[in-house]
Each structure stands twice: as C-alpha cells, then as structure tokens.
Amino acid sequence: MKYIVVLPAAGSGKRMKAGHNKLFLTLRGKPILIHTLDVFEQDLDCIGIWLAVKPEERVIIQEMLKQYNVTKVKGMPAGGAERQHSVYACVKEASNEAELILVHDAARPFIEPTVIKQLTQKAHETGAAIAGVKAKDTMKRVHNHIIEETVDREQLWIIQTPQAFHTSILTNAQHQADQDGFLGTDESMLVERLNIDVHVVESTYDNVKMTTQEDLLIGEAILQKRQQEEN
C-alpha cells in the first residue's frame, strides 16, 4: 500500500537535557533522525517524506540528508509551538500526494517495517489505524497520591506512532481541531472526536520514543540486539 509519511522533528527535546534538538544525538554513530528516516527511505511503499523542522535547523538537517543519502524528503515546512501544529504544517503541504498518510514521531527510530505494513493495510481498509502495545504493569487511577481505582489492564494499550489515516480523514480532523482550538497529544485524538473508529494494530515494545537519557541506553541495546540477530 503506497503512502506518504509526516515526521514531526521540530521539538526542543527538553526532557532529554541535551541542550539542543535530541534528534541530532547519535546511536551507534548515526543521528536518531537519520535512523528514523532510513526506515522510510528503505520502504518501497513510502513515496514521500515530509519533515517539520525548526527554521534555524533547516540547513543542518539538509546537510545531514545529503551526508546520509536520504532522497525521499519532499518538504520541510517550519514546525509550530506544539507537535500538533508541526504535523498540521506538513499535512497541509503533503495532502494531495497520496490517499494514505502516516504520522510518525521522528524520535521513534525503531519502528519495524512489518508494523508499518499492517498499519497501512488496516488504515486502507478502515480509514484509521494506530500502533500500540498492551500495558505490562498493573494500572491504577490515582488522585493526590491516593488510589481511586485499579483499571482493567486488558483494556489498556500504550499508544505509539505511526498513526495511519485516509488523508481526507486526517485533514478533516485537523481542520476541525484547528477551528475549535482543540489540542491533542496525538492525531488519533483529533479523529476520535469526529466519532470515527480508530483501529489499534499491535506494535512492538522496541518502538520506544527517545525522550529521556535512559531511553538512549535502551536504544543502544536494541541496536546491539538487532546486529546480533543479523550475524
């Protein structure tokens, strides 16, 4: 299933405390941003990449793309104050380019091609499909450090990206959110509020977001595991 992908990369990485955009940090010598881009560069079904960037980082990112031979980036609009604005800027540019669109955090470099395939297939069939994994821990709702209830774990999923949509569904949802001043933490929330069913595709625990320093250690370990599996 052919698709285009939008990668928000215009964050500041405050929780990583690197003093600059965390996506420039390296894992096994290669920037996190390039690890993520490479997945889509190598996927034949991906027919274009849009990257939301900070204007002051555009040149350095363009140089990185050249250095690592990333050829599928078709647009690099300026990101916004919130992730949702960054994604919206890309979708506005890209929406005529394919019927299927994926949104994926640039900070999730370990997404597996098989999951992308399942997501695009499901979104093609139904309109909306997002990646998630089952919660592993006991989950409780807590208020002021006091437990209100233990939540049935069977029904709880940890949601990740990619999130895949018919392009028209995502653009409608973004437009409506923009008009209502609604801010969500992922694109699915914008679609959910239109009462459209969003399907969840089981992803892998590898697909972590590089958010804090500890995640870099996990990232290095995942890459080591993958290299061992190759040998």
Rounded CA gap, 58 and 98, in Å? 25
Count of residues engaged in binding ligand CTP, rule: CB under 6 A: 23
In the chain, % helix, strand, coil (3-state, to 5) comes to 40, 25, 35
User: Chain-centre distance of CA 33, in angstroms?
Assistant: 12
Which range in 14-22, 65-73, 143-151, 166-174 contacts ligand CTP by CB under 6 A? 14-22
Q: CB of 81: closest distance to Mg ion in angstroms?
A: 11
What H or E segment, with its residue span, contains residue 128? Answer: strand 128-134
User: Chain-centre distance of CA 229, in angstroms?
Assistant: 25
**Residue number with CB closer to Mg ion (74 or 85):** 85
Q: Is 77 in the site for ligand CTP (CB under 6 A)?
A: no
Nearest residue (beta carbon) to ligand CTP? 11
Note the residues at the interface with Mg ion (CB under 5 A): 11
Q: Where are the alpha helices (DSSP H) in 77-132?
A: 83-94, 113-126
**Residue number with CB closer to Mg ion (24 or 68):** 24
Q: Is 52 in the site for ligand CTP (CB under 6 A)?
A: yes
Max Cα distance, the chain (Å):
53
The site for ligand CTP (CB under 6 A) is made up of 8-16, 22-23, 52, 79-83, 86, 105-107, 209, 211
